[in-house]
Amino acid sequence: MELTVYGPLRSATGEKRIGVDPGGPTVRAVLDALLEEYPRAESHLVDEAGDLRPSVRVTVNGDRAAIDDDCPPDAEVAVFPAMRGG
């Protein structure tokens, strides 16, 4: 599955478009696969407790998706990391 990543995630992945192999059909599985493949992305996506940061946004086919929403294998997925600063 291909993902588009934005902001500081690009420094963790090295590219704007990346490929991951999720182990399930949910947004959570996609993010787990992203973190497994690109461990440097962890600080941008999850907090110290291991929970998804509240300001992280994921879209599936252009619509905002919750962590447990379905994510078909052919979906267009975009990940917007937590942004800092003001």
Residue 29 lies in a domain: yes
Q: Output DSSP code: residue 20.
A: -
Question: Residue 27: which domain range?
Answer: 2-80
Instruction: Tell me how many domains the chain contains.
Output: 1
Residue 11 lies in a domain: yes
Question: pTM value?
Answer: 0.91
Rg of the chain taking only CA atoms, in angstroms: 12
Please return the burial class of 18, using the count of CB atoms within 10 Å of its CB with bins 0-12, 13-18 and 19+.
Answer: buried
CA angle 3–56–84, rounded 5-degree value? 115
- What pLDDT digit, counting tens, does each position of 45-78 carry? 999 998 999 999 999 999 999 999 999 999 999 9
